[in-house]
């Protein structure tokens, strides 16, 4: 059956890198149909909304979504994909490809997966004036015995972890570690929190991971605090297999880890829920290079690899990943972020050539 894909470029370099991925996918003659509805800044200008009805309907009917990036004005699209479609598991593979410039001395063999909880924590943005908390929770005291009123004027942000949210992401990470183990990886889950300070919220996350891992006796388990983990990712990147962590920690650690594989231009991601999934580069809209035709489309193309894998087209996913690998191994077509002079279109063409 033909799979329905919707491509939502969004803003900045989003449309440039998503177009590149779409061209590559279309060159492969797959059983997929790709729709490209208007969205983002262009849709705001034309329809007064970043996510017009047509784009939303196509998204709701899709088997998978290829997404670019959004600026603040279009952030509703991202909120819809993430919270509206409940795509709670953000997978960010960190994998080094031969020939890619990286600041690491011996990057060959770096291959691990960050599983970031995508729906809870701080990012739903429950913020406001401290005076509101002082009024609603007059008896609440922090660890120092202070009430919200004691702080004076200021703002708050609330970080929420639910039992369900912790359980489903822990299970997702364990399933991924199991899948990877079957392919020859160590079969290890590393849980990352700051439970020594955030004893309730991070404590729940850690405790839940420790409970869930008991159902996977074939897997190894370890836990590190997030500050220690930032250091370990750089120092011992080849010790990692599957890292599971909460929303903001995962966001930060994955940008850091992306440098191991050559930077943001390289790093793909998948956001998966029970019914929907969208695939996007780890990078944002990169307004500093938007419209110049020099964005590196690798992260978007590798996100398509994750999408093909999700859709069950494993051989095709491997074929596409191998084409990207071959371009870097040859090292002739590199975009400026990789130290070359190639345009987005040159890189895209080079990948398509390798697929022939």
Q: Output 99 or 186, the one with its CB closest to ligand ATP.
A: 99
Please report how close the Cβ of residue 13 comes to ligand ATP at its closest, in angstroms.
6
Active site residue 140: no
Catalytic residue among 80, 123, 278, 328: 123
Please report how close the Cβ of residue 196 comes to ligand ATP at its closest, in angstroms.
28
3-state per-residue secondary structure call for the chain: CCEEEEEEEECCCHHHHHHHHHHHHHHCCCCEEEECCCCCHHHHHHHCCCCCHHHHHHHHHCCEEEEEECCHHHHHHHHHHHHHCCCCEEEEEEECCCCCCCCCCCCCCCEEEEEEECCCEEEEEEEEEHHHHHHHCCCCCCCCCCCCHHHCCCEEEEEECCHHHHHHHHHHHHHHHHHHHHCCCCCEEEEEECCCCCCCHHHHHHHHHHHHHHHCCCCEEEEEEHHHHHHHHHHCHHHCCEEEECHHHHHHHHHHHHHHHCCCCCCEEEEECCCCEEEEECCCCCCCCCCCCCCCCHHHHHHHHHHHHHCCCHHHHHHHHHHHHHHHHHCCCCCHHHCCCCCHHHHHHHHHHHHC
Number of residues that bind ligand ATP (CB under 6 A): 15
Please report how close the Cβ of residue 170 comes to ligand ATP at its closest, in angstroms.
25
Considering only 30-38, 56-64, 115-123, 278-286, which stretch makes contact with ligand ATP by CB under 6 A? Answer: 278-286
Q: Output 206 or 300, the one with its CB closest to ligand ATP.
A: 300
Q: Output 82 or 283, the one with its CB closest to ligand ATP.
A: 283
d(Cα 325, Cα 351) in Å, to the nearest integer?
9
Among 260, 264, 324, 333, binds ligand ATP (CB under 6 A): 264
Active site residue 251: yes
Active site residue 150: no
State yes or no: residue 288 binds ligand ATP (CB under 6 A): yes
State yes or no: residue 286 binds ligand ATP (CB under 6 A): yes
Window 295-314: contact mask with ligand ATP (x via CB under 6 A): xx--x---------------
Q: Output 77 or 177, the one with its CB closest to ligand ATP.
A: 77
Please report how close the Cβ of residue 263 comes to ligand ATP at its closest, in angstroms.
7
Query: Would you say 7 and 66 are in contact if contact means Cβ atoms under 8 Å apart?
Result: yes
Strand partners, 95: 111
Please report how close the Cβ of residue 278 comes to ligand ATP at its closest, in angstroms.
15
Q: Output 187 or 265, the one with its CB closest to ligand ATP.
A: 265
Catalytic residue among 111, 255, 309, 346: 255
Q: Output 244 or 289, the one with its CB closest to ligand ATP.
A: 289
Q: Output b/e per residue, 333-346; b: 16+ Cβ within 10 A.
A: bbbebbebebbbeb
State yes or no: residue 41 binds ligand ATP (CB under 6 A): no
Among 284, 301, 306, 348, binds ligand ATP (CB under 6 A): 284
- Residue ranges in 43-72 that form contacts with ligand ATP under rule CB under 6 A: 69
Catalytic residues, by residue number, are: 123, 194, 227, 251, 255
The site for ligand ATP (CB under 6 A) is made up of 13, 17, 69, 264-265, 283-286, 288-289, 295-296, 299, 337
């Amino acid at each position: 059956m033909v799979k329905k894909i919707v491509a939502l470029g969004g803003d900045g370099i989003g449309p440039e890198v998503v177009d590149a991925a779409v061209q590559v996918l279309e060159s492969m003659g797959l059983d997929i149909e790709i729709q490209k509805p208007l969205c983002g800044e262009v849709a705001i200008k034309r329809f007064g909304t970043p996510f017009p009805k047509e784009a939303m309907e196509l998204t709701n009917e899709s088997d998978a979504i290829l997404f670019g990036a959004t600026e603040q004005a279009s952030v509703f699209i991202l909120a819809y994909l993430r919270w509206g479609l409940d795509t709670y598991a953000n997978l960010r593979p960190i994998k080094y490809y031969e020939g890619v410039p990286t600041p690491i001395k011996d990057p060959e063999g770096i291959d691990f997966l960050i599983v970031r909880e995508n729906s809870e924590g701080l990012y739903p943005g429950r913020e406001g004036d401290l005076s509101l908390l002082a009024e609603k929770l007059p008896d609440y005291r922090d660890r120092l015995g202070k009430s919200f009123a004691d702080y004076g004027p200021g703002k708050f942000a609330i970080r929420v972890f639910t039992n369900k949210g912790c359980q489903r992401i822990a299970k997702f990470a364990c399933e991924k570690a199991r899948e990877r183990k079957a392919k020859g990886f160590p079969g290890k889950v590393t849980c990352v929190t700051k439970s020594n300070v955030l004893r309730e919220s991070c404590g729940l996350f850690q405790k839940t991971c420790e409970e869930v891992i008991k159902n996977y006796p074939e897997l190894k388990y370890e836990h590190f605090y997030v500050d220690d983990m930032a250091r370990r990712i750089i120092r011992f990147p080849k010790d990692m297999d599957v890292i599971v962590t909460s929303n903001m920690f995962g966001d930060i650690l994955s940008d850091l880890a992306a440098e191991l594989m050559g930077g943001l231009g390289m790093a793909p991601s998948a956001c998966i829920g029970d019914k929907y999934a969208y695939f996007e580069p780890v990078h944002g809209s990169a307004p500093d290079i938007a419209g110049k035709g020099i964005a590196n489309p690798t992260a978007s193309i590798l996100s398509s690899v994750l999408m093909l894998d999700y859709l069950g087209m494993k051989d095709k996913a491997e074929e596409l990943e191998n084409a990207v690998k071959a371009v870097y191994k040859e090292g002739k077509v590199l975009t400026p972020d990789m130290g070359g002079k190639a345009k987005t279109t040159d890189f895209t063409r080079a990948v398509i050539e390798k697929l022939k």
